[in-house]
């Protein structure tokens, strides 16, 4: 089965950039979606189709996807960006959705 | 406004059954694929099941195949998850989710979730 690997945690100072990786075999050939989840809340879509932003998501959120790694970048990090972030792809070989294990972003 | 409201969660003994419901409003229900995603408290997200708009395509994660059955009633704007032979590993918050389109399209709206607790 297809596996997505994320670092468990990322720490970043306010105003700096946070980069969250999502590794998978040839993930660059798939569409990657990213979700933000704050404590006690349902996940919220922040990036879809590798690099598109839904309406209402700040331009500070961006995404890329090449080779074996997809990356979510949060520029000029704010305290309100503290959350868990999950990547997601569709594995057509098994007809399964796959989520990464999640990355906790901590703002120092 | 799109709304997805789950219900039916609760405490059940191992080996028991439970049916979750998802009531939808604010969009043309019959046009969208819907999914169930669960989250063990303090852990990550796990996709459970997907049902296409006309119930033509249904998918399950391997761990629930043969035990869970997803269905929908487009006339009632509702989706269901019948869960049988429950075990402690099924303890989680279950989210009802709308997909923008067929896979690999993204999940654009999530409900608040309903907690299922399976006691051993």
What tens digit of pLDDT does each residue of A47-75 get?
A: 999 999 999 999 999 999 999 999 999 99
- Write the pLDDT tens digit of every residue in B17-76: 999 999 999 999 999 999 999 999 889 999 999 999 999 999 999 999 999 999 999 999
How far apart, in whole angstroms, are the C-alpha atoms of residue B113 and residue B95? Answer: 4
Contacts 24+ apart (CB under 8 A), B23-27: B23/B77, B23/B78, B24/B77, B24/B78, B24/B79, B24/B96, B24/B98, B25/B77, B26/B1, B26/B2, B27/B2, B27/B98
Are A43 and B45 a contacting pair at CB < 8 A? yes
Query: How far B112 CA lies from chain A's nearest CA (Å)?
Result: 6
Are B47 and A90 a contacting pair at CB < 8 A? no
How far apart, in whole angstroms, are the C-alpha atoms of residue A4 and residue B14? Answer: 30
- Residues from chain A contacting residue B46 (CB–CB below 8 Å): 99
Overall average pLDDT of the A9-14 stretch: 97
| 3-state SS, residue B11 | strand
Are A92 and B104 a contacting pair at CB < 8 A? yes
Q: Are A92 and A2 in contact (CB under 8 A)?
A: no
Q: Are B13 and B119 in contact (CB under 8 A)?
A: yes
């Amino acid at each position: 089965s297809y596996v997505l690997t994320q670092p468990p945690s990322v720490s970043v100072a306010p105003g700096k950039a946070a980069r969250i990786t999502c590794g998978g075999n040839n993930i660059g050939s798939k569409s990657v979606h990213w979700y933000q989840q704050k404590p006690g809340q349902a996940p919220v879509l922040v990036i879809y189709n590798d690099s598109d932003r839904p309406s209402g998501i700040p331009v500070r959120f961006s995404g890329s996807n090449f080779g074996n790694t997809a990356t979510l970048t949060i520029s000029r990090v704010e305290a309100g960006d503290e959350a868990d972030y999950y990547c997601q792809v569709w594995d057509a070989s098994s007809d399964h959705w796959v989520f990464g294990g999640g990355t906790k972003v901590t703002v120092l | 406004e799109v709304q997805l409201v789950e219900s039916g969660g609760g405490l059940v003994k191992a080996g028991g059954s439970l049916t979750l419901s998802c009531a939808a409003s604010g969009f043309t229900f019959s046009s969208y694929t819907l999914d169930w995603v669960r989250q063990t408290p303090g852990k990550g997200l796990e996709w459970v099941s997907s049902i296409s708009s006309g119930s033509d395509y249904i998918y399950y994660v391997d761990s629930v195949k043969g035990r869970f059955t997803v269905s929908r009633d487009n006339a009632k704007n509702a989706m269901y998850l019948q869960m049988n032979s429950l075990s402690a590993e099924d303890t989680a918050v279950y989210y009802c989710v709308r997909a923008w389109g067929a896979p690999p399209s993204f999940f654009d709206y999530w409900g608040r979730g309903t907690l299922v607790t399976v006691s051993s």
